[in-house]
Amino acid sequence: MIKHIPNIITSLNLLCGCVAIMFAMSGELVTASFFAFLGIFFDFFDGLAARLLNASTKVGLELDSLADMVTSGVVPGFVMVQLLSYATTGNYLNINELFADNGWNESMMQFLPFIGLLIVVASAYRLAKFNVDTRQTTSFIGLPTPANTLLILSLPLILAYQHTDAVVTIILNQWLLIGLTVLSCVLLNAEIPLFALKFKKWDFKSNAIRYVFLLICAVTLFFFHFLAIPLIILLYILLSLFWKEK
């Protein structure tokens, strides 16, 4: 029974991702974001559980990748589609209305939101590379899909809970969203070495970068709330580039 615990946790990640997709396509982006965040929480602890219980299996590794594809690949792509739709039309995407009899006679700008699906493709490619890349056993090459998901899903949360005219103007700028889509696709597959939040030991010396990063994250989240998430992702990249672990 013990050997199945990590896979059960991974399955919870997958279920959270499926629920998040349902809410995202209904335009309930805040609820979708919270379910995706819960899925990422399970994603962090399935690997930890596998190491602590010495229950790592090949099936578990494959299941983890498939779950990540849903929660940290499909969900952020669909959320970006909805954000782009709202930015360009003032409404969340409704497939039935889009492909109605008169849909094709309207401006092609209504199809612009589908650019967000590039995140799904880039995430799939990043996960496929991760599965065969022997360099990524203790660190990452390119932005991990959960980190990219946190970045994308922070946007609807900022809009909902830290709503100001400036925030709305910036986040719901269609060109900024397109630029962020392209940037996330690039970062996911860039040859950039990034540290992983994996603790093999708990001493400060071998985990200095992790403890410093987590401390800054806690302080930043306390003061800036959801606005802190994009800053944290930027900090994660900068720390990885300039702080070389010994």
What is d(CA 215, CA 221) in angstroms, rounded to the nearest whole number? 10
CATH topology of domain 2-94+104-196: Four Helix Bundle (Hemerythrin (Met), subunit A) (1.20.120)
B/e letters for 142-170, b = 16+ CB within 10 Å, e = fewer, are bbbbbbbbbbbbbbbbbbeeeeeeeeeee
Average pLDDT per block of 10 residues along the chain, 246 residues long: 82 96 95 96 82 74 91 97 92 72 57 93 94 80 94 96 91 95 96 82 75 92 94 93 70
pLDDT value of residue 189: 95
Name the one residue in this structure whose structure tokens are 């335009």: 27
Angle at 129 between CA 184 and CA 69, to 5 degrees: 60
Element (H, E) at 195: strand 193-195
In contact, 81 and 116? CB cutoff 8 Å: yes
What is d(CA 189, CA 184) in angstroms, rounded to the nearest whole number? 9
What is d(CA 196, CA 39) in angstroms, rounded to the nearest whole number? 18
Q: Which amino acid is at 179?
A: G
Q: Which amino acid is at 48?
A: L
pLDDT value of residue 48: 75
pLDDT value of residue 176: 96
**Residue-level length of the chain:** 246
In contact, 159 and 94? CB cutoff 8 Å: no
Nearest-CA neighbor of 76 among 148, 28, 23, 134?
A: 148
pLDDT value of residue 22: 96
Hey, is 89 helix, strand or coil?
helix
Q: For residue 163, give both structure tokens.
A: 């709503």
**Full-model pTM:** 0.90
pLDDT value of residue 200: 65
